[in-house]
Amino acid sequence: MDRSLQGLAGAPEWRSLQSMLPDLRGARVLDLGCGFGWFSRWARERGAQSVLGFDVSENMLKRAIEMTTDDAVVYRRVDVEQIELPEAAFDLVFSSLVLHYVENLNRVFRSIHRALVPGGWFVFSTEHPIYTAPSHPEWLIQNGGCRTWPVDQYLAEGPRVTDWLTKEVIKQHRTIGTMVNSLLRSGFSLTHLEEWGPTEDQIAAHPEWAEHRDRPMFLLVSARKQV
Amino acid sequence: MDRSLQGLAGAPEWRSLQSMLPDLRGARVLDLGCGFGWFSRWARERGAQSVLGFDVSENMLKRAIEMTTDDAVVYRRVDVEQIELPEAAFDLVFSSLVLHYVENLNRVFRSIHRALVPGGWFVFSTEHPIYTAPSHPEWLIQNGGCRTWPVDQYLAEGPRVTDWLTKEVIKQHRTIGTMVNSLLRSGFSLTHLEEWGPTEDQIAAHPEWAEHRDRPMFLLVSARKQV
């Protein structure tokens, strides 16, 4: 996994996600699903006042702590599903590729909204529902070698079991509409929504990313707590 | 076409779209792509003060005029692509299944924004990008009879040529992200986004609609001009 080993530069969607972030100078940041802490450390380099990194994986947190020499970055073992956050304590909540594992998204969105200051930002990426929907999430190769992504059960929200890294990973498939409406109901204003695809430059450097133009894999969202 | 002959009741997504509309009493309404005028007349029944129906088809407008006996509903032949609207003249702009034909969506969104009063509503439906994206937009029937929608070139926005009613209809494929960001840049706040699918009741009455749960055909959006 490039994104774990190489950090942010190994994540193809990072450039887009980065452009959706507010100015981090002086910001109090929560990194929800921090993994090895790549974003947490980057946020500090960009001037964040403090960063709290949450992850459920003890192994990842261990590695994150080893890689961090900065008292203003603090890691904690927390299951996103169970978060309890202080009120108006953060200027930015960031979450990369974690929310598609969460069952009760409404609860998490409400918790994040409450934890942000008015005008605070929530920027996240999640797997795109076109990617998570199919009962057989694998490219079909058609006559002539063209690839086709086999969409079905798009509106049947709920768990999807796939094999990924370890066996039997359960993801929660949700439509874009469900995610957006949950944000709006929680009191957020939507500020940007991107169905990420690689640029021409990126495809030249990584031809294997071209498939993401046929079928987006990531959904990037920024939202703001109304003032 | 049920939706042309039977009016609003013949459009499966109408119930959802209706629930996204504001109170119409006293409202000045613009119906962009009014067709036979079903929505224009319905808006008047619901108490709209005046309704302006625009369509590019002379035949449809002729029929709309024949079916309307109400001086507060006025129809005009206008190409949506070319609209010129007065400033702050409408409380609601409604548009059903027309915007996927528009090439310059940014211009249309800006015109609509300017034409609305502060706090005014823009409610529209358009074909869903999952529906418009494919190079071969037809169900694949897999082993066991399961249907699969063959998504490719999702991020390649631009014209799609299909055969529909007449030959060689050109639609403009755009991602949800592009539409949402264009709305936000025009000064709208997003208030609801729905990837429409039929309810169980609707499928019981119209089993042929079940395919829309596998692959949504319509995107429904409501947005509001910021006060």
| In the predicted structure, residue A142 carries a pLDDT above the cut 90 | no
% of chain A at pLDDT higher than 70 = 98
Largest CA distance in chain A: 57
| In the predicted structure, residue A167 carries a pLDDT above the cut 80 | no
Is the CB of residue B158 less than 8 Å away from at least one CB of chain A? no
CATH number at residue B72: 3.40.50.150
Backbone angles phi, psi at B210, to 5 degrees: -55, -30
A168: amino acid identity, one letter: E
Tell me the C-alpha distance between B55 and A95, whole Å: 45
Q: Mutate which of A17, A149, A196 to disrupt the B interface (most B C-beta within 10 Å)?
A: A149
Selection from B148, B22, B179, B110 nearest residue A215 by Cα: B148
Is the CB of residue B195 less than 8 Å away from at least one CB of chain A? yes
Q: Mutate which of B155, B189, B212 to disrupt the A interface (most A C-beta within 10 Å)?
A: B155
Selection from B49, B29, B36 nearest residue B94 by Cα: B29
Q: Which residue has the tokens 């799609």?
A: B160
- Tell me B157's DSSP state: -
Is the CB of residue A141 less than 8 Å away from at least one CB of chain B? no
Q: Which chain A residue has its CA at the smallest distance from B213's CA?
A: A155
Give the residue-averaged pLDDT of A148-157: 97
A57: amino acid identity, one letter: S
Is the CB of residue B215 less than 8 Å away from at least one CB of chain A? yes
| In the predicted structure, residue B33 carries a pLDDT above the cut 90 | yes
Note the pLDDT of residue B1.
58
| In the predicted structure, residue B40 carries a pLDDT above the cut 80 | yes
Q: Count up the domains in chain A and report the number.
A: 1
- Tell me B90's DSSP state: E
**Residue B164 half-sphere exposure, CB side, CA atoms within 13 Å?**
11
Using the beta-carbon criterion (under 8 Å), do A192 and B184 form an inter-chain contact? Answer: yes
Tell me if A100 is assigned to some domain. Answer: yes
Rounded to a whole number, what is the distance in Å from the CA of B215 to chain A's nearest CA? 6
Give the residue-averaged pLDDT of A112-128: 98
For the ranges A5-19, A37-51, B68-82, B94-108, which has the lowest average pLDDT?
A5-19
Please, which residues have CB within 8 angstroms of residue B15's CB and are 6 or more apart in sequence? none
Domain that includes residue B187, residue range:
2-131+173-225
Tell me if A59 is assigned to some domain. Answer: yes
Please, which residues have CB within 8 angstroms of residue B97's CB and are 6 or more apart in sequence? B33, B125, B126, B127, B218
Q: How many CB atoms lie within 10 A of CB B7?
A: 18
Tell me if B141 is assigned to some domain. Answer: no
Q: Cβ(A169)–Cβ(A161) under 8 Å?
A: yes
Q: Cβ(A62)–Cβ(A53) under 8 Å?
A: no
> Which structure tokens are listed for A14?
């990072």
Tell me if A145 is assigned to some domain. Answer: no
Tell me if B187 is assigned to some domain. Answer: yes
Q: Cβ(A142)–Cβ(A195) under 8 Å?
A: no
SS (H, E, C) A4-28: HHCHHHHCCCHHHHHHCCCCCCCCE
Give the residue-averaged pLDDT of A20-27: 98
Tell me if B144 is assigned to some domain. Answer: no
Q: Cβ(B93)–Cβ(B32) under 8 Å?
A: yes
Tell me the C-alpha distance between A221 and A205, whole Å: 25
Give the residue-averaged pLDDT of A34-42: 97
Using the beta-carbon criterion (under 8 Å), do A216 and B154 form an inter-chain contact? Answer: yes
| In the predicted structure, residue B3 carries a pLDDT above the cut 80 | no
Q: Which residues of B touch A226 (CB under 8 A)?
A: none
Tell me the C-alpha distance between A92 and A167, whole Å: 33
Confidence tier at A5 by pLDDT (50, 70, 90): confident
Give the residue-averaged pLDDT of A199-216: 96
B101: amino acid identity, one letter: Y
Confidence tier at A165 by pLDDT (50, 70, 90): low
Note the pLDDT of residue A7.
85
| In the predicted structure, residue B6 carries a pLDDT above the cut 90 | no
Q: Which residues of B touch A184 (CB under 8 A)?
A: 190-192
Average pLDDT, chain A: 95
Is the CB of residue A140 less than 8 Å away from at least one CB of chain B? yes
Of the candidates A152, A176, A197, the beta carbon closest to that of B148 is on A152
Is the CB of residue A152 less than 8 Å away from at least one CB of chain B? yes
End-to-end CA distance of chain A: 39
Using the beta-carbon criterion (under 8 Å), do A153 and B189 form an inter-chain contact? Answer: no
Selection from B44, B54, B154, B36 nearest residue A151 by Cα: B154
> Which structure tokens are listed for B58?
């002379």
Tell me the C-alpha distance between B72 and B78, whole Å: 18
Tell me if A103 is assigned to some domain. Answer: yes
Q: What is the reported pTM?
A: 0.96
Tell me if B180 is assigned to some domain. Answer: yes
pLDDT digits (tens, 9 = 90+) for B120-175: 999 999 999 999 999 999 999 977 888 999 999 999 999 999 876 667 889 999 99
Confidence tier at A2 by pLDDT (50, 70, 90): low
Confidence tier at B63 by pLDDT (50, 70, 90): very high
Tell me the C-alpha distance between B15 and B144, whole Å: 33
Give the residue-averaged pLDDT of A201-208: 95
Note the pLDDT of residue B37.
97
Q: Which residues of A touch B149 (CB under 8 A)?
A: 150-152, 154
| Beta pairing partners, A184 | none
Average pLDDT, chain B: 95
Rounded to a whole number, what is the distance in Å from the CA of B74 to chain A's nearest CA? 34
Three-state DSSP state, A70: coil
Which whole-number Å values give the CA distances from A101 to A72, A96, A130, A158, A161, in the listed order? 28, 11, 16, 11, 11
pLDDT digits (tens, 9 = 90+) for B188-217: 999 999 999 999 999 999 999 999 999 999
Tell me the C-alpha distance between A160 and A169, whole Å: 8
